[in-house]
Amino acid sequence: MRDEGVSPWATLVFEVMSQQTPIPRVQPVWQVWMERWPTPAALGAASPAEVLVAWDHLGYPSRALRLQQCARAIAARPGGQVPADLEELLALPGVGPYTASAVASFAYHRRVPVLDTNVRRVLARACDGTEFAPSSAPSRTERGRAESLLPQTGEAAAEWNVALMELGALVCTQRAPRCGECPLAQGCRWLTEGRPAASVRPRGQSWAGTDRQARGRVMALLRDSHTHGRQTTREQALRVATLPGSDSEQAGRVLVGLVADGLVVERDEGTVLELPS
């Protein structure tokens, strides 16, 4: 997690897991992972199937395989330790700007801003007076502003980053901000200007009936089969991937995508599906 005493490796795993997944769902899975694979070398030595089973219900299972690739790259470094340098972190497989900044700040107390959606919303409201509709990635202007607001020491900057994340998650929320409880209320431009609505509203992520839901159902089936030593036939997987009201091609499309992503392996001329070994 983001507490003192958590290793850089544990911090990296937590930050990867918590991308697009609520922290209450991440916490128990993360604890199991860190007990089972406390070092990059330990995770790197596991089979992809073990990793995907342990990923459980976190969603976006490709992240699990990228995390294992990252672990192997770290284990191959001199000393086998997570690097502290931001550029070296960014060079690791599956590590983007957010994860690299989070590890550098929380694990190594580097003076860098950590810009998740919550932090970006807080700063947009307080500094710009805009409600904030998230774009694909933070702009250069956002990064520059966030860096200018950081405390001067790395340790204080890490505390500042965590505080902004918590403020956005618990108080300055997207749908029901609790401005009366906000410590930034007196200086918040958005509140002063009457909380103007964004010109473009962010779209919520759909789930029911999507390929993502169908993929999740197939992966759950394969995890269960692997755990209990059973085979999964292609016909079984197609039935699981067929959702009510879905188009006729969805199930087949989902299986093709899972194989292409390396999450599923075909055996016996495609009649049997299993997790990669």
Catalytic amino acids?
A: 15
Size of the chain in residues: 277
Cα atoms in the Cβ-side hemisphere of radius 13 Å centred on 194:
1
38 Cβ contact partners less than 8 Å away, ≥ 6 residues apart: 7, 9, 10
Phi and psi, residue 140, nearest 5°: -60, -35
Handedness of CA 139, 143, 146, 148 (dihedral sign): negative
**Angle at the Cα of 205 from the Cα atoms of 56 and 265, rounded to 5 degrees:** 40
Residue whose pair of structure tokens reads 């490796």 in the numeric block: 9
Q: State both tokens at 87.
A: 């550029």
**Strand pairing partners for 273?**
232, 266
User: 277 to each of 67, 140, 174, 263, 266, how far by Cα in Å?
Assistant: 16, 42, 42, 10, 11
CB-based burial, 18-48: b 16+ in 10 Å, e otherwise: bbebeeeebeebbeebbeebebbeebbeeeb
